[in-house]
Structure 1
Amino acid sequence: MKKQRSTRAALVRFAQVATASAAFALIAACGGGGDDNNSTPAGGVKLQVVSFGDSLSDVGTYAPVAAANFGGGRFTTNPGQVWVQNVAQYYGDTLTPAMTGGFGVAPTNQSGLGYAQGGARVTNPMGIGHATDPNSYAGALTVPVATQVQNYLAAHGSFNANQLVIVNGGANDVLYNLQLVKAGAISQADASTAIITAAKQLGGIVATILQHGATHVLVSNVPDIGTTPQGTMSDAVTRAGLSSASIGFNTALDQTLQALNIKSKVIYLDTPPKLAQITANYQQLGFTVSNTGTACNLKAMAAAAQKYGEPNPQDFATSLFCSPETLTVAGADQTYMYADTVHPTTHLHALYAQAAEQTIAATGLGK
């Protein structure tokens, strides 16, 4: 570990809690992101991919710091890709960050179309891990999904029919508000209201994307966070709360898309039933460990941080810092479902990408 203490300390405090739809457990029978460089990509049609969301779809916003110091860089079993990168490859594209920075590094606009950022909420700029001072770059950037879309429009003006626009979000709003309940800062009723509001706002963001020319929009809802290791390793009350809040968000999102008369205009991934199915059949899908363990050796990662004198070594127990050297066992990126207690492994990301590709193909796009 290198000794960029202040930057690293801010980064790990963020990574301990930064999450986004951490389940990613979708059953898939065929397909997958490929490296086909032919004129016709594996997906049967060439598409430019644009992605908005949180850590689930973050292709490397914080990699300049995390990768340089730890060999990590994305919220998975690094150097594995996240699902949106696999989908982009399947349609003949390469997805890179639209912005990098944070944790002491000023944000820099990049040329990529991967706008998703770990820790981002739907509309609130003070996402998980953001510095208290909004003018400071000491914490995570957490540009919210709504602003991500506005940043894209400011730079590009509109979407077009040759693009696949991917949208996810909401899990950080679920976790953020449940953390406030646990701390006694707000009531459960207030948390539920805030979560439902975020879902309605995400529906409105999808409408904005459609209004600005997008014709292929994939919307991924929030999986049942209560069935991830974070839930299964918690007490029954906490687990039930995570599940209830996830379902509440998804219900409000679905109702909003229908009320806006745009549900039929998007490609919708309903993740909770898929998650339940893959968890029940994880061995048939090539996993040896489902939602009962983590591919990253979190205890060893925390112990190493303690050895180097970090005041909060447990903060290092997250997939953002995970590399082949910190896996629980060799090949765990393929045999475990979860990298840490909330984020998917490389294998699980690949399965989610396949499910997305199949759902898209069912609309008649590509093959």
Structure 2
Amino acid sequence: MNKQRSTRAALVRFAQVATASAAFALLAACGGGGDDNNNSTPPGGVKLQVVSFGDSLSDVGTYAPVAAANFGGGRFTTNPGQVWVQNVAQYYGDTLAPAMTGGFGVPPTPQGGLGYAQGGSRVTNPIGIGHATTDPANYTQALTVPVVTQVSNYLSAHGSFNANQLVIINGGANDILFNLTAVQSGQMTPAAATAAIGKAAIDLAGVIGKVVQSGATHVLVSNVPDIGTTPQGMMSNAQTRALLSQASLGFNQALAAALTQSGLMSKVIYLDIVPPLANITANFAQFGFTVSNTGTGCNLQAMAAAAQKFGEPNPQAFATSLFCSPQTLTVAGADQTYMYADTVHPTTHLHALYAQTAEQTIAKSGLGK
């Protein structure tokens, strides 16, 4: 019983920090990935092993054992739906599983998968959303292993990348949220936040360079979506919404400039996700949605009410897609008819469209079909 209470308390702390950020912004050929054990040509036209690094947008289930067991859910979407990198992996004949699970009182446990992305992770700083300590051995909170360390962990286990892999990298959104939240709380000046966000973008370019130097020949880099156009941005005042969009644009410009100046832009497949998402938002009905960025597919109020009934001291902390399940959808089928699961994370349907955009971008590079 004490262990259960400790686990739930740790989850509360994670959700509290994530909710606080959301209030301002949204807030190796061997190893891991399955290949379905068949030699048929996959939809993508070429069979590839997928390796993924990043944050909650690409997290395939780091916290699933704890979140699913205690609340339902498991990924940052309309569970049990997949996130975009899982769809891309299937497109190329692979299955993407977590490299590690744990956190919230559960020791980090290697799982053998190649999905290294973790919800709450920043680019290089271990102090992520929901992990307030620099002690990497502290697993009482979210793990939030930074992207640079995710790559190092992969290389320690597998030595190098190879031409039969597709390496997917995203990151930066949590650096934006972390620094802008610090501005709101008076802990950082706007100028310092802008500089920190720009540095995170340059650091991410450095991580990408390490991946390329370590043998990767197919590297998909996704930039940061426009945070100002998420439901959380839309629910904010005009000034805050503009600031979120400006910070997202600034990060993306700094990342693209760093990749170009270093010569890496010609060595990677660059996915500028902002225009496609803007098009989907503007024409949401044509893409099968009934609600765009003005609502959430997960019934966040009901989730908070259920947590309150269960006796949680901060029930609102559980109003996040990590704990979302079919039983907590706003309406039946919301995983397909809403664009967003919570105030920042895509639903199953939007993740699928994100994946399709990625696949089209990869195809234009000459890989596969």
Task: Please say whether Structure 1 and Structure 2 have the same fold, judged by a TM-score greater than 0.5.
Answer: yes
Q: Report the Cα distance in structure 1 between the residues aligned to 2:292 and 2:102, rounded to whole angstroms.
A: 33
Range with greater deviation from structure 2 (43-52 or 5-14): 5-14
Q: Would the aligned equivalents of 2:126 and 2:133 in 1 still touch at CA under 8 Å?
A: no
Whether 1:270 aligns to 2:278 is no
Q: Which residue in 1 is equivalent to 2:354?
A: 352
Q: Which residue in 2 is equivalent to 1:115?
A: 116
- C-alpha change, 1:265 and 1:83, in structure 2 (3 Å) is same
Q: CA deviation at 1:238?
A: 1.2
Q: Would the aligned equivalents of 2:14 and 2:129 in 1 still touch at CA under 8 Å?
A: yes
Q: Would the aligned equivalents of 1:50 and 1:166 in 2 still touch at CA under 8 Å?
A: yes
Q: Would the aligned equivalents of 2:276 and 2:357 in 1 still touch at CA under 8 Å?
A: no
1:65-89 Cα offsets, whole Å, 9 max, x none, are 0011112100000000000001101
Identify which of structures 1 and 2 has the higher relative contact order when contacts are C-alpha pairs closer than 8 Å and 6+ apart: 1
Q: Which residue in 1 is equivalent to 2:287?
A: 285
Range with greater deviation from structure 2 (265-274 or 286-295): 265-274
Q: Would the aligned equivalents of 1:131 and 1:137 in 2 still touch at CA under 8 Å?
A: no
Matching residue's letter, 1:256 = A
Q: Would the aligned equivalents of 1:36 and 1:42 in 2 still touch at CA under 8 Å?
A: no
Q: Which residue in 2 is equivalent to 1:239?
A: 241
Q: Which residue in 2 is equivalent to 1:159?
A: 161
- Give SS of 2:178's match: helix
1:40-98 Cα offsets, whole Å, 9 max, x none, are 11111000000000000000000110011112100000000000001101100000001
- Give SS of 1:284's match: helix
Q: CA deviation at 1:38?
A: 5.8
Number of aligned residue pairs: 353
Q: Would the aligned equivalents of 1:16 and 1:318 in 2 still touch at CA under 8 Å?
A: no
Matching residue's letter, 1:155 = A
Range with greater deviation from structure 2 (247-256 or 133-142): 133-142
Q: Which residue in 2 is equivalent to 1:32?
A: none
Matching residue's letter, 1:325 = Q
How do 1:7-86 residues align onto structure 2 when only pairs under 5 Å count? 7-15=7-15, 17-18=17-18, 39-86=40-87
Q: CA deviation at 1:17?
A: 4.9
Q: CA deviation at 1:36?
A: 11
Matching residue's letter, 2:242 = A
Q: Which residue in 1 is equivalent to 2:315?
A: 313
Q: Which residue in 1 is equivalent to 2:263?
A: 261
* Alignment gaps of 5+ in structure 1: 22-34
Q: CA deviation at 1:15?
A: 3.5
Q: Which residue in 2 is equivalent to 1:90?
A: 91
How do 1:108-257 residues align onto structure 2 when only pairs under 5 Å count? 108-132=109-133, 134=135, 135-257=137-259
Q: Report the Cα distance in structure 2 between the residues aligned to 1:18 and 1:160, rounded to whole angstroms.
A: 36
Whether 1:327 aligns to 2:329 is yes
Matching residue's letter, 1:77 = T
The list of structure 1 runs, each at least 4 consecutive aligned residues, that deviate by more than 6 angstroms after superposition, is none
Range with greater deviation from structure 2 (280-289 or 306-315): 306-315
Matching residue's letter, 1:68 = A
Matching residue's letter, 1:42 = P
Identity of aligned residues (%): 78
Q: CA deviation at 1:9?
A: 2.7
- Give SS of 1:96's match: coil
Q: Report the Cα distance in structure 1 between the residues aligned to 2:17 and 2:334, rounded to whole angstroms.
A: 22
Q: Which residue in 1 is equivalent to 2:28?
A: none
| RMSD between aligned residues | 1.8
* Alignment gaps of 5+ in structure 2: 23-35
